Structure formats: structure tokens, C-alpha cells
Amino acid sequence: MQPTAKKEAQQAGDKARDAGHSASDAASHLGQAASHAGQAVSGAVSGAASQAAQAVSGAASNVGRKAEEWTSAAGNRVESMGSSVRDMGPDSGMLGKANTAVADGLERAGEYLQDKNLSGMMGDVTDLIKRNPIPALILGLGVGYLVGRSMRS
């Protein structure tokens, strides 16, 4: 081989080696960019999931608060209805006693709704079922049967 051809071959080899290093560097930079992009996407998804969880939690809290307010308002109305029944009904005799009993029951029920709200009533029902499991089971089966029968027809 002649010295110029040898020199040209060596220069071509050097250029090819430099091109290979440049391609390797470019691939490394591309890999780093992809890694950064993946981290950015992961962070964005995590942030969006966190915001969605906070929104759901806030909505659930709002629904619970509204349910408590509605229960209290219903208790107020029932108590008011008891007072109205007492005022409009007879005061004496057998009808007077019945009127007083109904009015007392409505007023007590209204006070209970106002005092306990929904969460307190759930606790009372749970305690009642724990104290009387067999009657609660029988009642649940009976209600389930009646609901199933009404859905069929």
C-alpha cells in the first residue's frame, strides 16, 4: 500500500471512530432526556392522582356534612310537627291522651334526630344489633324477602 492510501485509510478510520463516539454521546444524551421525560410524566401523573384523591375526599366530606345537616333539619321539622299536633288536638278525654302520646313521641323523635344526627343513629343501630343479633338477623331476612318479592312482581 502506498503511503497516501495508508494515510487516507487511517484518517477514514479516525473519522469513523469519532463518528462512533459522537453517536454514542448522542445516544447517551437521548437516554438521559428520555429518563428526565419519564420522571416528569411520573411526577405529573402522581400530582394529578393526588389532586383527584383530595377532590374525592373533599366531596365525601361535603356529602357527610350535608347528610348531618339534613338529619338535623328533619329532626327540627318532626319536633315542630309534634308541637303542632299537641296545639291542634284535644286536651282531655281518650282522644286527648292519644293526642298527647303522639305529640310526645314526635317531639322525642325530633330531639333524637337533632341530637344524634346520622352518625349517632348508625352507632345506636350497631349497638342494638350487637345486643340482639338473632332478632336482627330474622328482621334482615324478612326485609330481604319482602324486597325481593316486590322486585319480582
According to the model, what pLDDT value does residue 147 have? 93
Within 10 angstroms of residue 33's Cβ, the number of other Cβ atoms is 10
Contacts of 112 (CB under 8 A, 6+ apart): 75, 121
According to the model, what pLDDT value does residue 144 have? 93
pLDDT at position 1 over 60 = no
Label residue 114 by pLDDT band (50, 70, 90). Answer: confident
According to the model, what pLDDT value does residue 31 have? 62
CA 82/CA 108 separation, integer angstroms: 9
Label residue 143 by pLDDT band (50, 70, 90). Answer: very high
Residue pLDDT, tens place only, 58-107 = 766 677 777 778 888 888 888 888 888 888 888 888 888 888 888 888 88
According to the model, what pLDDT value does residue 44 have? 59
Label residue 145 by pLDDT band (50, 70, 90). Answer: very high
Element of type H or E holding 149 = helix 133-152
Residue pLDDT, tens place only, 16-67 = 666 555 656 655 666 676 566 556 656 656 666 667 667 666 766 677 777 7
Residue 142: CA count within 13 A, CB half-sphere: 6
Within 10 angstroms of residue 100's Cβ, the number of other Cβ atoms is 16
Q: What is the mean pLDDT of residues 112-117?
A: 83
